[in-house]
Structure 1
Amino acid sequence: MIRNAALGSAATLTAGVLGAGLLLAPPAGADSRSYAVSEAVGVQIAAARAERAGIDWKDCPADWGLEKPIQCGWVKVPLDYSKPFGRQIEIAVDRIGNTGTTEERQGALVYNPGGPGGSGMRFPRRVTTKNPLWANAAKAYDFVGFDPRGVGHSAPISCIDPQEFVKAPKADPVPDSEADKRAQRKLAAEYADGCKERSGWMLPHMTTANTARDLDVVRAGLGERKLNFLGVSYGTYLGGVYATLFPGHVRRMIVDSVVNPSKEKIWYEANLDQDVAFQMRWDDWKAWVAQNDASFHIGDTPEKVEAKWRELRAAAKANPIGGKVGPAELIGFFQGAPYYDSSWVPVAQTWSDYLAGDTQALVDAAAPDMSDTAGNAASENGNAVYTAVECTDAKWPTSWKKWDRDNTRLHQEYPFLTWSNAWMNYPCAVWKSKQHTPVEVGAGRELPPVLIVQAERDAATPYEGAKELQRRLAGSRLITEEGAGSHGVTGLKNPCINDRVDRYLLTGKVDAYDVTCAPHAGPVAPAPAAAKAKGAAPAPSALPQLEELPAVR
């Protein structure tokens, strides 16, 4: 609604302002800082400004790590969409033009990798690095990435000094006593205080809904009448919210590895569900390690592998490995295996090398590099945005008794990630800024078909989320990678999926029914003889690329 009744209804204002071409400034005599409209009108005003201004594309700054011919630019958006002429922030964007002909071009494909807190700026590198999975799409689309509000180069937020954030070893997240729980709660409260102190001006506006509004303004700045969008992990929730707020602006939308969009799940319950799914995929990995005991020599049954894991945790707790790697750092490294099949061999090999006497391999893999100030700043920023968005999107339980009861119960059966996940999110219980009500995700027939892609045993975004989103988006189609569990399916070689993604992007066509695909080729353990040789782990290029690293944490 219009907050100044003298201005009339939102519909009247929108029609009048649009028709009169007065979108670039508030009415005469109005205070631009306090001139208030509905958020729906605010985004129209901001989008009209962005469309008129366009984007001043230039070579990317040298320290952004984006080679030519990728170009970079900025799009201005309101901090608060109800005050579209008030404080503005800049959203960093980059692009590479389509590789095909002018006739083949279908517009821009905008990407979000997840998080919240992930940067999409490396997306155009799928073209410069000649990623074969995206060659057909690149002929038709400009590949466009962006840093969402608060991330990277887009008014970045912070909650703690980056060097303090990465300092190790941290306390074991699994508490042994009530004193341990009190200590973790104190750390979480201090973190929430730090967010308020360092970034309080941004916190009330760090919502998925506002990021979706930013996305629509970016669309307008690109000169696109409708949006083509690829969202992975949290990017699927961003896509779902965008489709709800702007169904008529969607042309193509692919969502991959889906966050459950139910208002009841965002975000407390979603994280509890994640604990269960991570344990499932951790158990899958342990079984695979046991099957390949001739290569890794960790244990020839899942039970023996689990016993070795507990031994490793206990040893690291009593005496941190290399003085830096305790249980918290071990979990940070080992959770790569439940996240991505491509991490199964490297994680197992590093563990195997450690058991064979190579302590440094595990330290290098799991301990922070305190000299990497830029990387540490990016890690801290990503965690700050993750916390700010999830804490601001929804109202969280404030009762410690509820948190303690829920996580104690889950830990009994799903111990791998439960307490680590709880402490990561506990700042939301003591958040120092406004918490909103989540968007009720859903859209009807005005939305074109949305393509949903999901691995059946995904740990970070459990499978039920894909089915729930499909129920909410009319006409959407679900591709299930049966029996697989990697997070981020569209980045993997699986022709059953890749061909359908290409067909959808190039023609807009989806299957008449949902599709189940066999899993992609699984990880292959090194031959036993090779496994004994130091350095037998795959080269770094076999690991997930930066934009595919763990998103919904």
Structure 2
Amino acid sequence: MTQCGSLTGRAVAAAAAGAVTLTALIAGSPAATAASGQAPASVTWRSCPAYSDDVIRTLAVTDEQRRTFRALLGRMECGTVSVPLDYRKPGGRQITIAITRVKAADRKHRLGSLALNPGGPGGAGYLFPLQIASMNQANAKLNDRYDLIGFDPRGVGYSTKVDCPSPQGGPPEPGPLTKETAKRIHDSGVTANKKCGDSDPAFLGQLTTLNSARDLDRVRIALGERKLSFLGISWGTWLGAVYRSTFPGSVGRMFLDSVAPVNFRLDDFEDGHAAGTERNFGRMAAWIAKRNDTYGLGTTAKQVRTAVLALGRAYDETPKHYSDWEMVADGATVAMLAIQSTPDWPQVAQAFKEMREESDTAPPALKELLGQGALQPPVVGAPERFNATAGHAVFCNEDPSRLGFSDAWATYQRRLERNPVTGRASRFSAQCAGWPLPVQKIKVQRGGGSLVLAGHRYEAVSLYEWTEQMHAAIGGTVFTVADDVHGSVLRVPSCATELVSYFTTGRIDRGCDGTPVPEK
């Protein structure tokens, strides 16, 4: 979840308004490139990195999928595209965007290039084409007629980047957060934000979604494509919306899954997420109530809710230090369980049941859900999957809230009051307070090319309402997924089949069932 420090939202709107002009239609032409002062875009192809099986496993590739992944790896091409660090100074400092390409298997019926982004900001997409195409047979068909294009956005992975030191300080004391502790967390965050932003403002100030969209269009030009199709998830939907608004003549078909909000503010984003999780917990509670013989938490959703609230209070009053688990379980742990999505409901209910029992060791279901991989050492040779500096910089460069402590504390208290079951899962932080670089607002609007917005009816990470808001702002077709799982379309073969059909034919139905609710 990169943008040029020079372009204001007003300038973006002006650029998008020229969607039907000749300038927009030839934006990627050599003449337009020369007129802008930019060097012609091209790809510098080079050998791809080698990856061990251990590295491939870190990419969420199962042993069953690994053979397909390696076959795709053998076909993958790797390169870099040079882009301006600051698009106001196209002849100035250049940085590189790392890209990959897996050429379409059916060259005779090739439909073009399809760029893929897994989300973020800060998420790496270099190997995303391989991850997608090896996931299931439906996804693999994307590569039949499209060249699949992966890329690390500026500031991430194999692209040019900088890294700020990780903020100092461990987790807060277990139990409810006190105002005094919150003040220390906020002050520490403000200091870290200022130190990071001041460390390399010339680079960090250019980490914005608009600049990532501009970089993507340079990639399109370098690949020799008149139009570029795009598939984005989570923050990738915001990147897609910005790309389509800024370069309306460059877009082919676009599918955006789990859509970002139109008017971004970190405090509003956290409020929306908390409200969404509280709302979705009602569905979880009803599911648990139907299985009272198994879990013993109540026969109605109201009874289950009461039991979980009581469990959270008990763990806040007496946090549990288990002998076999480094984490301390408190009310926030209970809230973290309560925000899990449908596939994990059986384990969540089992964890609630086990946490009501006295034990010196951590409940197995709790450890399985929240304790896996926390202390796993990095695998040698593994590519970066997420860059925290880039993620934070993109958010903070675009976030106008930047709340001082008083407002941040009041907002946090309201969040807890309005969301008694899941509110404790919200982490209190300074967010972008103290970030020293200017806010760079972006406005999206209707652009060119075919567009599908996939909204998940019960999702809490990207609310369904945000899909409706984005649809009102930029148009397209709404594709409703009847689940609560963030970005699940590619993981559910029946939904993925619809997605592939859209990219192949330009047509799509109005939705799919998504991830099924567990039977038991």
Q: The TM-score by the shorter chain falls in which range?
A: 0.7 to 0.9
Count of equivalent residues: 475
Residue aligned with 1:60, SS = coil
Aligned to 1:33: none
- SS of corresponding position for 1:427: coil
> Please, which of 328, 333, 347 is the counterpart of residue 325 of structure 1?
328
The 2-side partners of 1:415 and 1:374 are apart by 39
- Are positions 1:103 and 2:108 aligned together? yes
Corresponding residue of 1:521:
516
1:91 paired with 2:97, answer: yes
Find the partner of 1:430 among 428, 431, 434.
Answer: 434
Do residues 278 (structure 1) and 277 (structure 2) align? Answer: yes
Alignment of 1:232-247 (within 5 A): 232-247=233-248
The residue type paired with residue 84 of structure 1 is P
Distance change >3 Å, CA 121–CA 458, structure 1 → 2 = same
Aligned to 1:31: none
Q: What amino acid maps onto 1:401 in structure 2?
A: S
Asked whether 1:414 is paired with 2:419, we answer yes
**Residues 319/345 of structure 1: CA separation in 2 closer, same or farther (3 Å cut):** closer
Cα distance in 2 between the residues matched to 1:21 and 1:494: 42
Q: Contact 1:170/1:326 (CA < 8 Å) preserved in 2?
A: no
Match of 1:150 among 145, 155, 161: 155
1:49 aligns with 2:40: yes
Deviations 1:132-179 (A, max 9, x none): 2313322111222221112222234433349x68x6x54458523x21
2:78 maps to a residue whose letter is: C
- Deviation at residue 224 of structure 1 after TM alignment: 1.9
SS of 2:433 mapped into structure 1: helix
Kept in 2, the 8 Å contact 1:454–1:479? The answer is yes
User: What displacement does 1:208 show?
Assistant: 1.0
- Equivalent residue number for residue 405 of structure 1: 410
Q: Secondary structure at the match of 2:78?
A: strand
Corresponding residue for 2:457?
A: 456
Q: Give unpaired runs (5+ residues) of structure 1.
A: 4-9, 24-36, 526-553
3-state SS in 1 of match to 2:458: coil
Report the equivalent of 1:202.
203
| RCO higher in structure (CA 8 A, sep ≥6) | 2
Post-superposition offset of 1:409: 1.7
How far residue 240 of structure 1 moved from its aligned partner, in angstroms, is: 0.7
Residue 337 of structure 1: aligned partner:
340
**TM-score, reference length from structure 2:** 0.79
Q: Deviation digits for residues 221-274 of structure 1, max 9, x if unmatched?
A: 232221111111111111111111011101010011111113xx4443233222
The unaligned stretches of length 5 or more in structure 2 are 1-5, 7-14, 16-20, 57-68
Residue 214 of structure 1 deviates from its aligned partner by 1.3
- Retained in 1: the 8 A contact 2:81–2:97? yes
Give 1:473 shift: 1.9
DSSP 3-state at the match of 2:461: coil
C-alpha separation in 1, matches of 2:136 and 2:488: 15
Give 1:396's match in structure 2, choosing from 396, 401, 412: 401
After the TM superposition, which residues 173-192 of structure 1 pair with which residues of structure 2 at under 5 Å, given as runs? 174-176=176-178, 178-192=179-193
Aligned to 1:73: 79
SS in structure 2 at match of 1:62: coil
Aligned partner of 2:333: which letter?
L
1:393 CA displacement: 1.2
Residue aligning to 2:479: 479
Judging changes above 3 Å, is the alpha-carbon distance between structure 1 residues 485 and 173 closer, same or farther for their aligned structure 2 residues? farther
Post-superposition offset of 1:352: 5.2
Between the aligned partners of 1:379 and 1:194, the Cα distance in structure 2 is 23
> Is the contact made by 2:119 and 2:233 (CA closer than 8 Å) also made in structure 1?
yes
Distance in 2 of aligned mates of 1:199 and 1:295:
56
Identity %: 26
- The separation in 2 between residues aligned to 1:223 and 1:323, in whole angstroms, is 53
Matched to 1:304, the amino acid is: A
User: Does the CA-based 8 Å contact 1:332-1:366 persist in structure 2?
Assistant: no
In the TM superposition, 1:505-520 aligns within 5 A as: 505-510=503-508, 515=510, 517-518=512-513, 520=515
SS at 1:452's partner residue?
A: strand
What's the CA shift string for 1:471-492, capped at 9, x where partnerless?
A: 1223x1101124x211113124
CA distance in 1 between partners of 2:375 and 2:174 (Å): 20
The 3 A distance-change label for structure 1 pair 329 and 109 is farther
SS of 1:86 mapped into structure 2? coil
What's the counterpart of residue 291 of structure 2? 292
Q: Which residue type is aligned with residue 60 of structure 1?
A: P
- Counterpart CA distance in 2 for 1:328 and 1:378 is 35
- Is the CA contact 1:449–1:510 (under 8 Å) kept in the aligned structure 2? no
SS at match of 1:124: helix
